[in-house]
Structure 1
Amino acid sequence: MKLTAIGGDIFTNNPRKEEIREIRRTQMSGKGNHQYGKAKTIKMIEAVKQANSRAVIVEGVYYKSQTEAAKVLNLGITTVNYRLNSDNFPEWLRIKEKNNIQKQSNNPTCKLSVDGIVYESIKDAASSLGISSPTVIRRLDSEKHPSYKRLSERLR
């Protein structure tokens, strides 16, 4: 089966990859870019900073972000990140685990139950069950999966 048949990658193995990359680069530059000429709002800039900032503790000293720690310690961000992930540096710690950071979303959540277990959102259920969010949604809408139940109204 082709990767494209299941919504997969149509770019990585394409023999015209470099040509396509150049076409897309040209299409998205200047006025072709949907953000062209639009000023970034302070709210957007702060949201990006907050999303990208992860507090760390390095040898007992608190830093509000990995970037701040790198600057103060005169290290590269890659080095800081390596040490935070390494067992060889036990005093280099993240305040929140890397993969468990909740992203802010403007999308409301839908509470649901699967096999009697209640989840606060479709995303939480998908993560816990090891399946994709669209699969959870399809099962919620399907009569073939009676154990998948919405506990709040459908939001989309």
Structure 2
Amino acid sequence: MRATKIPADQALLLDNQVCFALYSASLAMTKLYKPLLDELGLTYPQYLVMLVLWESDGLTVSELGQRLSLDSGTLTPLLKRLEAAGLVNRLRAVQDERRVHIHLTAAGRKLKARAAKVPGCVLAASQCSLSELLQLTTQIRKLRERLAA
């Protein structure tokens, strides 16, 4: 681990806080996503669930939770709302009723085509090149992994 001492008069400046940079960027990102996702009838957490299911349909609730870093207490109400909207089905495994698999419905699969414009809108709003945005995503992911370790 590399540690560099920050001068005391700089250590507590708001603009030098990585937490505030991430927090305020997250708020701006949420504001950007809201109208895009409203058109799809999704909240941001629901959109994340749909992204994972579009990648790998039929995951269990626990697999979804691992992928999204969410516990089942948070995920279950989200999945119930997606099911009520007709986008997913929750099916208990026959061999082990504790395991619930989540499957996209035809409407859930169809929504993917409408959602395809979202990443392009985010890229345009970021005013970054695709390469810059991918590098930033990689750096943030590495930071998250280091903090979780």
TM over 0.5: no
Structure number with higher helix proportion: 2
Larger Rg: 1
Structure number with higher strand proportion: 1
Higher relative contact order (CA 8 A, sep 6+): 2
